[in-house]
Structures are given as structure tokens and as C-alpha cells.
Amino acid sequence: MGRNRITVKKNLPLFFSPALILIIFFVVFPALQTVYISFLSPSDEFVGFDNYADVLSRAEIVNLEGFPKWPPLGALIHNLIWIAIHLPLSMFSGLALAIILRDVKGASIVKSAIFLGMVTPMVVGGLILRFSFEERVGLVNAFFNILGFEQLTRTWTAYPETALFALIFGSVWLWTGFSMILYSAGLATIPKDYYEAAKIDGASPLRTFYRITFPLLKPITIVVISMTLLWELKIFDIVFAAFSGTRGPGGAGNVLALQMWLYAFRFSEYNSAAVVATFLTAFTLVISVWMIRYMVKR
């Protein structure tokens, strides 16, 4: 047994090598090549950080002229708005649903229905959102009409003031299932004794939540936050489908990944696309490293 273990350990590099070779060729090399391209001019001359200075100062990336104002504010700012609104909303709504549905009979059916948004391909989700916010055929506007908010009835994705927010709020519905499922699993691991003890001590439900539930769900919260952040930074498919490949009215729905695609495949500006790609990767890498370090510490 011991000898086998030593043999396996000795041959570990051999076992890893096929996967390693594939990763080097298909992940590491293209990634490094992208970084390299980001430092080149279209005529393949090395230009240092000139491309970064040029791209990151463009109005389609950051446009704060006349701020505060409605979108378009540039893709980078839109991504940050996306994070600021979508992250807390989807996280807390998922947590709330997980707690509410914890001891409810038939909760699994409700959870499955909510999780459907997560299962749906995001391109389909984008199309659903586009039509949901249409003035005359959209479900959202029908809802506003029923509630008597006729003044809110409009094609939300057609107006620069509302286009971005329509997608953000719509994607909360699509993403909430993710946090709800994780929190539900996390809640199941908390011993019931803690709650009984808190009850005997006379703790209010709110206090019980803050003192027991939320602290014990911290590992889950870290995963939800980091995964949601990564998704929000990389967001592309929903926006692409909802605006049919454009950046929305006046560019009001633009995000970094979409801008990267436009640079590469519509404008043939491969160096600019590489800049955005590198920038995005650096962003996501920071979050990933943070998450991995946290996991390892635990």
C-alpha cells in the first residue's frame, strides 16, 4: 500500500502532464498572447501602455462628462453599477427566500421554479427581458398597468435612463436562484440546537438572524459574493441578446465584455479588444485570488 502511494507520488507529474499540456496550449498561451497583443499597435509595434491609456480614456469605457447624469456612463461604470445594484439585491433576495422557504411544505417546488431562471441560458434570459419590458407586449408593463402605474408603462430597454436598470433588475430574477440554492444548503448545516437555545434565552428572530444565521452562513456568503462578482464583471450574453448586439440606446446598456466583442469583431480593433480583455482578466483574477485565499485559510 505504502509502496503504491510512493509510486503514484513519484509519477504525479506524468499523470498531470496531459492536462497541463492542454492547459498551456489552450489557456495559458492564448491568455499571454492576448496580454502581448494589448501592448502592440495595429502594425505590431510595441507601444507600451499607450493602448491602455487610449482605450481606458474613451467615452465608451468611461464617460463621466456632466456627471451626475443618466447612462451612458461608459462600459466600466456600467459594470460597477451592475455590481452595486445586482450583487446585494440577488444575494439578499436569495437569502430571504432560503430562510422563508426553509420550513415550508412543498418548498422544493417553489425553489425549483425560482432556480429555473438560473438554468435558463442567459441568451434566452436576455431575450425574455427584452420582451418583458416592451411597452405593449411586455409582462412588466402589464403588471404596472394592473397596479395602476400607467406612467411607468414604456419600452424600458428603449430609453437610456432605464435600459441598463431594466436589465439589472431583470437579471436579479435570473440570478437569485443561485444564491437561494447555496443559502438553502448552508442553512441545512446549522444545528437546530442553536436556534432552540436562542429561543430559550429569549432572543428575537432578528437577533437570532444576526447572531446565529448570518455569521454561520459567512462561508456561503463569500462564495455567493465572489461568484456573483465574477459573473457581473463578465456579463455579456444578457446584454447582447437584449440589445441585439448593440450597446443600447446611445450606448446606455454597454458593458466591458460587450465592448471587447465590438472592438474585436465589429470594429476590427484587435489591440483595443486585447486591452479590455486583459483589464477584465486582471479584475476577475483579483477576486478569484481573494476567494481562493479565503478558502485555503479555512
Partner 1 sequence: MERMEAVIAGLVVIAIIVSASTLWYGVTVLSDVSKLTDSTAELTSSMVDLTEELASLAGTVGASLDTIEDVLARLRAVEATLTPTITVIGPWAGKEMDAFLPVLDRFEALYGINVKYKKYRAEELATLLPAQFAAGKTPGDVIFMWGWWIAENGEEGHVLDVTDLVDEADFLNGTFDPVKVGNTIYGGAYTGKVKPGFWYRKSFFTANGLTPPTTWAEFETLLADIAAIPGIVNPIASGDGVGWPLSDITEHFIITYGGPQLQRDLIAGTVAWTSPEVKTTVFEEKLVPLLTAGHFSDPAEWTTILKEWWDGDYGLYFMGSWITGMVDDPNDLGVFSLPGCEGLVFVADYCFIPTYTEHLDEAKELFQFLASEEAQRVQVAQGGHIATNIHVSLDEYPAVDRMVANLTTGKEVLLDLDDTIGGAFQSTFWEQLQLLWVSPGQLDAVLAAIEAVAP
Stretch that binds partner 1, among 37-45, 101-109, 231-239, 264-272 (CB under 8 A): 264-272
What is the b/e burial string over 47-65, where b = at least 16 CB atoms within 10 angstroms of the residue's CB? Answer: beeebbeebeeeebbbbee
Mutual angle of helices 75-100 and 218-234, in 10-degree steps: 150
**Which residues are CB-contacts of 130 (< 8 A; sequence separation ≥ 6)?**
157, 241, 242, 243
Build a one-symbol-per-residue string for 231-250: x at contacts with partner 1 by CB under 8 A, - elsewhere. ------------xxxxxxxx
Distance CA 180, CA 198 (A): 24
* Binding residue (CB under 8 A) for partner 1 from 215, 265, 292, 293: 265
The correct pick among 130, 132, 171, 182 for binding partner 1 (CB under 8 A) is 130
Contact with partner 1 (CB under 8 A): which of 267, 282, 285, 289? 267
Number of residues engaging partner 1 in binding (CB under 8 A): 29
71 binds partner 1 per the rule CB under 8 A: no
- Closest distance between partner 1 and the C-beta of residue 86, in Å? 23
Q: Work out the burial of residue 229: count CB atoms within 10 Å of its CB; fewer than 13 is exposed, 13-18 middle, 19 or more buried.
A: buried
With binding defined as CB under 8 A, does residue 26 bind partner 1? no
Rule CB under 8 A: which of 173-202 touch partner 1? none
Q: Is the dihedral of CA 223, 227, 230, 232 positive or negative?
A: negative
Indicate the residue among 217 and 252 with the shorter CB distance to partner 1.
252
Applying CB under 8 A, which of residues 33, 41, 108, 268 lies at the interface with partner 1? 268
Is 251 a residue that touches partner 1 (CB under 8 A)?
Answer: yes
**Contact (Cβ atoms closer than 8 angstroms) between residue 117 and residue 169:** no
Q: Is 78 in the site for partner 1 (CB under 8 A)?
A: no
In the complex, least distance from residue 213 CB atom to partner 1, rounded to whole angstroms: 44
C-alpha cell at 173: 430574477
Instruction: Output the smallest distance, CB 260 to partner 1, in A.
Output: 12
Instruction: Kindly state whether residue 170 participates in binding partner 1, applying the rule CB under 8 A.
Output: no
Closer of 79 and 157 to partner 1 (Cβ): 157
Give Cβ neighbours of residue 167 (< 8 Å, ≥ 6 apart): 126, 129, 157, 238, 239, 242, 253
- Give me Rg for the CA atoms of the chain: 23
Grid cell in block for residue 175: 440570478
Q: Minimum distance between the CB of residue 281 and partner 1, rounded to whole angstroms?
A: 19
Question: Residue 164: which residues within 8 A CB-CB, separation 6 or more?
Answer: 71, 78, 81, 82, 248, 252, 253
Q: How far is the CB of 67 from partner 1 (least distance, A)?
A: 15
**Which stretch in 86-94, 97-105, 153-161, 213-221 sits in contact with partner 1 by CB under 8 A?**
153-161
Residues that bind partner 1 (CB under 8 A): 130-131, 134-137, 154-155, 158-160, 243-252, 261-262, 264-269
